[in-house]
Amino acid sequence: MAEDEDRPRKVRRLASSKPKLGRMVTVSVGTGDKARDFYLHEDPIIEHSDFFKAALAGNRWQEGTERKVLLPEDEPEEFEGFQCFVYSGLTFLLNHPDGECSSIVHAWSFADKLQSCSYKDALTDSLALKVATSAKTPVGMQYGIADGSSVSAGLTRLLVDLAICYWTIGAFEKLDLEAAPKTFVRKLLVGLAEDRTRTNEDKPWLNEDCHYHDHGEEKPCYKTMFTY
């Protein structure tokens, strides 16, 4: 359950409500010199990633028998971000050459690969928060989304909404139609058509609700998953 924000977090808890940690698992990320091993508790990463859940289920796969998961094609830094989220519920972002927003989009793609709904939603919220608190609106984030990823993902929807609301004529002129995911462009056009009636007050990214989340009805919102 989410803590009531007005009250300090209670330090005394019942033993029955202690966090489930489970056995340790090794996750080896990257190849060659850049390779790094992470040691994590099994229960939290299973809770936050359907990829790990499937990989470690019983003794079906090699990963399950050996208690080790190899992620040769991913970056250790991205995984570290996921690891930190799993233990804290917070997003810790890298300094991306294209700025913070682009690093959020990168991390989101990694979360999407791991099928971590909670991490994806937290990242989307981070982006919305960033936009809400900064004067300038970044424009190039859409290029970080793979064309084959989900059309209905919250992040895509947020990016479309932001573009409709903040993009200047110049930003539209500079849009690289080759590089931008087709799903994004199509959604943007539909959104613009719909948006001709929208008022300025209606900015869902300023609300702290589940508007851009992917968890749907079946999974919990990540905000309710971290109680410590």
Partner 1 sequence: MDFEQTWAILASAFTQIHEKQASKLSFEELYRNAYKIVLKKKGDELYLRVAEFERDWLSSEIERRIHKELPPQLMNALQGRSSAGSVGDDQVRTQGERFLRQLKLAWEDHQTCMSMLTDVLMYMDRVYCADTRRPSIFTTAMSLFRDCILRSHVRGDDSWPDICGTLNHVILDQIRMERDGDFIDKHLIKANVYMLEGLYDSHHEVEEEKLYLTSFEYEFLASSAEFYRALGDRLLKESDAGQYCRETRKRIDEENDRCRSTLLESTTPKIQKVVEDELIRYRMKDLIESESGVRFMITNERHDDLALVFDLEARVDPRKPELTKALQKIILEMGTNLNDAAQLGAAAEAPEDRAKAPADKLVNQQTVAALKWVEDVLELKDKFDAMWKQSFQSDQTIHTAIMRSSAEFINSHPRCAEYMSLFIDDNMKKGIKGKTELEIEALLNKAIVLLRYVQEKDVFELYYKKHLGKRLLMGRSLSIDVEKQMIFRMKMELGNNFTAKLEGMFKDMTLSEELTAGYKGYVARLGDADPRRIDLAINVLTSMTWPVETTNSAPDDARESRLKTIYPPAMERIRQGFENYYKEKYSGRMLDWKGNMGTVDVKVTFPKVPSKGFKERRHELNVSTYAMLILLLFNDLPSGASLSLEEIQARTNIPTNELVRNLQSLAVAPKTRILLKEPMSKDVKDTDKFFFNEGFMGKFHKVKIGIVSAGNRIENDRERVETEKKNNDSRGYAIEAAVVRIMKQRKELSHQQLVTETITQLNSQFKPDVNMIKKRIESLIEREYLERIEDSPSSSYRYLA
Residue whose CB is less far from partner 1, 28 or 137: 28
Contact residue for partner 1 among 26, 36, 43, 70 (CB under 8 A): 70
129: exposed, middle or buried (C-beta count within 10 Å: 0-12, 13-18, 19+)?
middle
Which SS3 state, helix, strand or coil, does residue 8 take? coil
Shortest distance in whole angstroms from residue 147 CB to partner 1? 6
Of 18-26, 53-61, 91-99, 124-132: span binding partner 1 (CB under 8 A): 53-61
Could you say whether residue 93 binds partner 1 (CB under 8 A)? Answer: no
Q: What is the dihedral of CA 148, 63, 36, 96, to 10 degrees?
A: 20
Q: Which segments within the chain are labelled E, that is strand?
A: 24-29, 36-41, 68-71
Of 14-22, 48-56, 155-163, 198-206: span binding partner 1 (CB under 8 A): 48-56
Shortest distance in whole angstroms from residue 176 CB to partner 1? 18
Contact residue for partner 1 among 94, 149, 167, 195 (CB under 8 A): 149
For residue 194, which phi and psi values (nearest 5 degrees)?
Answer: -70, -30
Shortest distance in whole angstroms from residue 38 CB to partner 1? 14
